[in-house]
Amino acid sequence: MHSRDLIEQYKTYVQEWRRYFHKHPELSNEEFETTKALAKELESMGVEVHVDDVRKTGLIGIIRGAKPGKAIGLRADIDALPVQEHNTSEYKSEVDGKMHACGHDGHMAILLGAAKMLMQMKDRLEGDVYLVFQPAEETGGGAPEFIKFGDWFEKIDAIFGGHVWIDLPAGLVSVEAGERMAASSLFSINVKGKQGHGAQPHQAVDAVVVASAIVLNLQTVVSRNVSALDSVVVTIGNIHSGSEWNVIPGEATMGGTVRFFDPRQEEYIVHRMRQIVEHTALAYGALATLTYEKRVPPTINDESCSALAEQVVIDTLGADKLSKMRKVMPGEDFAWYLQEKPGCFAFIGIQNPDVDAVYDHHNNRFNMDDSVLSAASAVYAEYAIAWLQRNK
């Protein structure tokens, strides 16, 4: 039996689980009921389950193959976002201010479907499959923390995962080698000027003016300090200053993010940012400091793993379902796994205007065409089988 033969059989099963998770979202590191539901379902299949009993969120399921061999991990993230849903579907979020607005509900459903398929095809498994249901992806720190849970990461020899993607038409799958998602870092800037009366600006050092100048000058990091052939983003996401209409504020704070693919660029980018922040402030008679924090490295697919994934997609879904997609600037903590293990991260198309699946990730109207998710389950399952057979 091949995974392609099970796509229709588990289509409704995968859809129903995706909608269940969508109705019951839980935020990062709070996925307690989600973990219980996953554990119960996996145990009902006969899967060996190991729950993180310290944090009470996240679990590993193990499917032992009929024949001995190596081990591969299949990963799904399980956390939702603090977003108020504006959709009106029957499966909309039942929790105020929380929503699966990034597609992790789909990822869990895909992996449950893959587990069902693998349990039905254990005779083809030449090794073990670790089902990785990881919490807190949205924080960027979920993966490195989950690596510390038990010994599952030591035991696997490769890892496969994916992300449903709204820019890709439903049913298409992209598994290219190389750079796929950017490194993601965050930074904060604190500006200190001199508070004063709004009618006497000459007696103050306006933190708003200083902050504004810093925002504009930081744009030159990308436009003038980085090669036009490289992909880098520097974004200011928030500015906070002042509280009264007639008071010149003496302090301002800002927060933002940096995205890039080449880790060798990071030191220089941060160096230039710090120079611009400090020297711009000094030019206005103020002081400013930059605090920088790494979150996730770039997601870079292994060439051999991606080549195998391409063949699996063709064999399982057909050549017309294999898509090429440009790398993207959002970050993904799956990258931490790829720092130590070979693997592949796929993009799974879910865009379909007919079901209003057109809104971007993290949007309060985000939705997906979940009728294609069981096809993704088949790709996950078949990839595990193929990788274990090739690497026995």
Rg (CA), the chain: 23
**Where in the chain do CATH 3.30.70.360 domains reside?**
183-296
Q: Taking all residues of the chain, what is their mean pLDDT, rounded to a whole number? A: 97
Is 362 annotated as belonging to a binding site? yes
| pLDDT at 86 exceeding the cut of 90 | yes
Stretch 15-29: mean pLDDT: 98
Stretch 343-353: mean pLDDT: 98
**Where in the chain do CATH 3.40.630.10 domains reside?**
3-181+298-390
Is 163 annotated as belonging to a binding site? yes
> Judging by beta carbons within 10 Å of its beta carbon (0-12, 13-18, 19+), is residue 105 exposed, middle or buried?
buried
Task: Measure the CA–CA gap between 263 and 87, rounded to whole angstroms.
Answer: 39
| pLDDT at 392 exceeding the cut of 90 | no
Is 22 annotated as belonging to a binding site? no
Q: Indicate yes or no: pTM above 0.85.
A: yes
> pLDDT confidence of 372, banded at 50, 70, 90?
very high
State the virtual CA torsion across 348, 117, 112, 10 in degrees, nearest 10.
Answer: 80
Is 102 annotated as belonging to a binding site? yes
> pLDDT confidence of 104, banded at 50, 70, 90?
very high
Which CATH number, 3.30.365.10, 3.20.20.70, 3.30.70.360, 2.102.10.10, labels domain 183-296? 3.30.70.360
Task: Measure the CA–CA gap between 110 and 74, rounded to whole angstroms.
Answer: 10
Contact of 107 with 31, CB cutoff 8 Å: no
3-state helix, strand, coil in the chain (%, to 5): 40, 30, 30
Q: For 258-271, how does the pLDDT look when each residue is reduced to its tens digit (9 = 90+)?
A: 999 999 999 999 99
Task: Measure the CA–CA gap between 17 and 27, rounded to whole angstroms.
Answer: 18
| Residue 243 backbone dihedrals phi, psi, to 5 degrees | -145, -15
Give the class (CATH, top level) of 3-181+298-390. Answer: alpha beta
347 beta partners: 163, 174
Is 344 annotated as belonging to a binding site? no
Contact of 81 with 102, CB cutoff 8 Å: yes
pLDDT at 90: 96
